[in-house]
Amino acid sequence: MPASAPIIDIAPPHILVVDDEKDIIELLSTAIERAGMTCSTATSARDALDIISRIPVDVVVTDIHMPEMSGIELGRRIKACSNANVIVMTGHVKDFTYEEIVAKGASDFLKKPVRLKEFIARLKRVLGERGTLASRNRALTDLKHNLEKYRLAMDGFVQAMSRAVEIRDPYTAGHQRRVAKLAAAIAEKIGLSPDRIHGLRLAGAIHDIGKIGVPAEILCKPGKLNELEYGIIQLHPKVGYNILKDIAFPWPVAEIVLQHHERLDGSGYPQGLRGEAILKETRILSVADVFETIATHRPYRPARGLDKAMEELETNSGILYDPEAVSACQELFSDNRFSLD
């Protein structure tokens, strides 16, 4: 025989009634229990706070006028230490408005003497809204968890693509990683949002993915490239864009990869874009890419060092490279707080 479904024990709502009049407490607690809910009672605000500190309570029903502490002050303290809803009762309706009571954090406002049917109906409404809010909070928590899982998977996928490029081109192993690190540091110094910096870091980690389409003998050639070979190399931003364009990144990763050899004066490739037509993230990435390329070893030449790399950026700041990104790069290395490794 198939196993029977497990019985899920759902505890009934727990209501706390607070009033210095015992007759009111007895009347309301009886109605609450007849409606299938659990009820605790207190004759003072201090007793109520003690109960809440020990027992989970869903809704507190409290009178306003009580010795030592008013129901409004009690509601304020409850909101500071618990997620219980508060329903306020009073026989002095003229002293308060519904809007005033709700503004102080109450979920509802009842006039004494309380009609029991209305009281139970109001209580169920508050509990219903409470359940809906709890469901929404759970759904939001699940959504955040799933988004984090998606982001981690996406980051892992990008890193795998980055390693695939570097396996084919061992001479520039680590180039993309270093460029991504430097670009993110520049972007942070400039003041880009953390979200945009994350997208830039991912784009930097795979900005040369299009080199998968370049023959290995060209990538690893120890001498100067001829015109045909250089033309093939220049295809890699477009190849990279075609690889990435259909992936639904939350950032313009494919466009950043496509533009990373564009220059402010229009002398770059593949589109010859100028100035503001180039994405801000791309302008930052270009500075990081040029700096790292000059500073480190390449198959066709030894590393030229940090000074030569900075000289290139300074000489062509505002001409080829974004001056704000160049300035931020200068600051990073001038205070010795940043290292490419």
Q: Report pLDDT digits (tens) over 202-228.
A: 999 999 999 988 888 887 787 788 889
Angle at 309 between CA 219 and CA 213, to 5 degrees: 20
Whether 115 contacts 93, CB under 8 Å: no
Dump the DSSP string for 179-193: HHHHHHHHHHHHT--
Query: Is there a shared CATH topology between the 14-138 domain and the 169-334 domain?
Result: no
The predicted-structure confidence for 248-266, as pLDDT tens digits, reads as follows: 898 999 999 999 999 999 9
Query: Which stretches of 2-41 are DSSP H helices?
Result: 22-34
Which CATH architecture fits 169-334? Orthogonal Bundle (1.10)
Q: How confident is the model at residue 196 (pLDDT cuts 50, 70, 90)?
A: very high
The predicted-structure confidence for 6-41, as pLDDT tens digits, reads as follows: 444 457 889 999 998 899 999 999 999 999 999 999
Q: Is the pLDDT of residue 4 over 50?
A: no
Q: How confident is the model at residue 2 (pLDDT cuts 50, 70, 90)?
A: very low
Which residue ranges make up each domain of the chain? Answer: 14-138, 169-334
Residue 3 is predicted with a pLDDT of 47
Please name which of 113, 111, 83 lies closest in space to residue 14, comparing C-alpha atoms: 83
CA atoms within 13 A on the CB side of 275: 1
Query: Which stretches of the chain are DSSP H helices?
Result: 22-34, 45-54, 71-81, 98-103, 116-168, 175-190, 194-205, 216-219, 227-233, 236-244, 253-259, 280-295, 305-315, 323-334
CATH number for the domain running over 14-138: 3.40.50.2300
Catalytic residues, by residue number, are: 211
